[in-house]
A = this chain, B = another copy of it.
Amino acid sequence: MITSFILIQTERTKITDVAETLADVDGISEVYSVSGNYDLVAIARVKDNDELATLVTNKIVDIEAITKTETMLAFRVYSKHDLDSMFSIGL
Contacts and interface: CB of A to CB of B under 8 A. Distances in A.
Contact of A32 (B22, B52, B76): B76
Q: Report how many copies the assembly holds.
A: 10
Contacts of A73: 34-36, 49, 71, 73
Interface in A2-25: 2-5, 12-13, 15-16, 19-20, 22-24
A12 B72 contact: no
Interface size class of chain A, counting residues whose CB lies under 8 Å from the partner chain: 35 or more
B74 A37 contact: no
Interface of A: 2-5, 12-13, 15-16, 19-20, 22-24, 29-38, 41, 49, 52-53, 56-58, 61-62, 66-67, 70-81, 83, 86-87
